[in-house]
Amino acid sequence: TDEGEAWRKELISYLEGNIDYVLAYCEHNLPGIRAIRPEASFLVWLDCRGLGKRDDEVINLFVNKAHLALNPGSSFGTGGECHMRMNVAVPRKILKDALDRLRLAVCGY
């Protein structure tokens, strides 16, 4: 229906805004973490190799310090080490809170 199409367009626009928010936030606030724009989803890969930590240390940082339950890239196979997968299909307030907790865990402020 036309109503469904309008909702779908709004949703896509909102998700694209969330992706842009994550990319900008990481660039300006999270040294060592590079967000990768997805090609066709709402799952953003966070490349954490710039932190200079091992994969298990990156997972510990996200889970035990930032209190975030993201998917570690290593669970997807070789090459995913030191990457985390973030679902951005959430209200922007929740996304901001998650990124602020990650900044605190990484930077201490």
- Non-local (6+) Cβ contacts of 105 within 8 A are 61, 62, 65, 66
- The percentage of residues in the chain with a pLDDT greater than 90, rounded to a whole number, is 94
Distances (CA, A) of 69 to 8, 12, 29, 64: 27, 24, 20, 9
Q: What's the length of the chain? A: 109
Residue 2 confidence (pLDDT) = 75
Give yes or no for residue 56 having a pLDDT over 80: yes
**Is the pLDDT score of 85 beyond 90?**
yes
What is the rounded CA–CA span in Å between residue 109 and residue 98? 14
Quickly state the pLDDT bin for 1 (edges 50, 70, 90). Answer: low
What's the rounded Cα separation, in Å, for the pair 67 and 86?
Answer: 13
State pTM to two decimals.
0.93
Mean pLDDT confidence for 14-25: 98
